[in-house]
Amino acid sequence: MDEHLQMLIESIAKAKNEISKVIIGQEKVVEQALIAIICGQHVLIEGVPGIAKTLLVRTISHILGSPFGRIQFTPDLMPSDITGTNVFNFKENNFNLIKGPIFTTFLLADEINRSPAKTQSALLQAMQERKVTIDNETYDLSKNFTVFATQNPIEHEGTYSLPEAQKDRFMLKIFMDYPTSEDEMQLALKMLENNSPENVLESGEVQEILSEKDILKLREFLKYVIVKNEILKYLVDIVRKTRNYEAILVGAGPRATQSLILAVRALAVLDGRDFVVPDDIKNIASAVLSHRLILRPEYEIEGLTMNEVIQDILKEITVPK
């Protein structure tokens, strides 16, 4: 195995170990969050309140030695509340830029669907170009700028659907479920000992593993992960099948193909391999595709879920040997 790739595998293993000191269980969620960061992409997280979505992002930012910012999206939030604005300084007789919370590395966009499309669109340029334009002046963001946007799946009153163009910019949609009984018991025991996950993070017990420069350097090592032609064709066939599948109104675009290629390479690294296998595609396909597809209304009424549709598509495509 290439030494650069071995370095990436070891670094990710250390990061996962440090995260596990704070986040109890949720191994798949942690893996998918790290996949997005390795690939330099953004994440949409869906889960009920109090399930450690914010804590997960705070922990990752701490371990990766990067600034963390949080925006609580509300109906009255304005685009300038996210990006910042120029304020006139009477003493100096000029305008000074007051930077908004978007000027960070890891940004938690909490309950992003609570704000209308105009406010949500303030993130579009930052997510695509890692730049922000304020009063016709463009400012650079961190090259590791990553949006972790959250949605509450149980409260839809007073929410606004994310525009399709914005959803397509999220590499993965992660579903954060309730912890297992064993994990919740472990959490309860820690609370009795006054050793809550928040206290663990603030105690200094969790070590910083990487710097922002390290993340950029390690990201380049993904190119050493081998994707054979038959595996690549299998991946492309899956994405293309979404465009003419009976139950799907709108299929996945080319950006989904690009995201899936990046994701399977990163997943192979997390598994300690320098090559992609068909199971990597099967394991991450739903997270990459589910938020990019639109079901036909008649199938939605029948109770068909997006995950079921994706699993059916996977069964129809011939798996390479």
pLDDT at 249: 93
* Span 36-57, pLDDT tens digits: 999 999 999 998 888 889 999 9
* Span 152-181, pLDDT tens digits: 777 666 678 888 888 899 999 999 989 899
Q: How confident is the model at residue 29 (pLDDT cuts 50, 70, 90)?
A: very high
The counts of H helices and E strands in the chain are: 15, 11
Coil, strand or helix at 51: coil
> Is the pLDDT confidence value at 91 over 90?
no
Q: Which CATH homologous superfamily contains domain 225-321? A: Magnesium chelatase subunit I, C-Terminal domain (1.10.8.80)
The amino acid occupying position 34 is L
pTM of the entire structure?
0.91
pLDDT at 118: 84
pLDDT at 206: 87
pLDDT at 255: 94
If we measure between CA atoms, which residue out of 313, 278, 31, 32 comes closest to residue 171?
A: 32
What's the whole-number average pLDDT of the chain? 90
The ranges assigned to domains in the chain are 1-180+209-220, 225-321
pLDDT at 253: 92
78-82, 86-90, 239-243, 253-257: least confidently modelled range: 86-90
Alpha helix (H) ranges present in 178-305? Answer: 181-192, 197-202, 212-219, 229-241, 254-270, 278-289, 297-301
pLDDT at 44: 95
Q: How many Å separate Cα 191 from the centre of its chain?
A: 29
CATH entry, 1-180+209-220, from 3.30.540.10, 3.40.50.300, 3.40.1130.10, 1.20.1600.10: 3.40.50.300
* Span 205-262, pLDDT tens digits: 888 888 888 888 888 888 899 999 999 999 999 999 999 999 999 999 999 999 999 9
